[in-house]
Amino acid sequence: MIKKLNTLFVTLFGIGKINFAQGTLASFFTIVFLFYCFHIKNYPNEFILIFLLITFFYSFYAIAIYIRDSKNKDPKEIVIDEFIGQSIPIYLYEIGHNTEKLTNEALYFYIYIFILFRFFDIKKPFPINLFDKKFKNSFGVIFDDVIAGLYVVLTIIIFMILKSKLF
Number of domains within the chain = 1
- Specify the pLDDT at position 98: 63
- The whole domain housing 44 covers 2-162
Please report whether residue 109 resides in a domain: yes
The one-letter amino acid at 40 = I
One digit per residue, pLDDT tens: the chain, 167 residues?
A: 778 888 999 999 999 999 999 999 999 999 999 999 999 999 999 999 999 999 999 999 999 998 887 776 668 899 999 999 999 999 999 998 766 667 788 899 999 999 999 999 999 888 877 776 777 778 888 999 999 999 999 999 999 899 888 87
**Closest of 149, 137, 1 to residue 60, by C-alpha:** 137
Q: Tell me if 27 sits within 8 A of 82, measured CB to CB.
A: yes
- Specify the pLDDT at position 53: 98
Q: Is 124 left (phi over 0), alpha (psi -120 to 50) or beta?
A: left
Taking the whole predicted model, whether its pTM rises above 0.85 is answered as: yes
Q: Tell me if 29 sits within 8 A of 15, measured CB to CB.
A: yes
CA terminus-to-terminus distance, the chain: 57
Please report whether residue 167 resides in a domain: no
Please report whether residue 78 resides in a domain: yes
Alpha-carbon distances, residue 4 vs 57, 63, 71, 74 (angstroms): 19, 13, 20, 19
Please report whether residue 26 resides in a domain: yes
DSSP state of 135: -
Please report whether residue 43 resides in a domain: yes
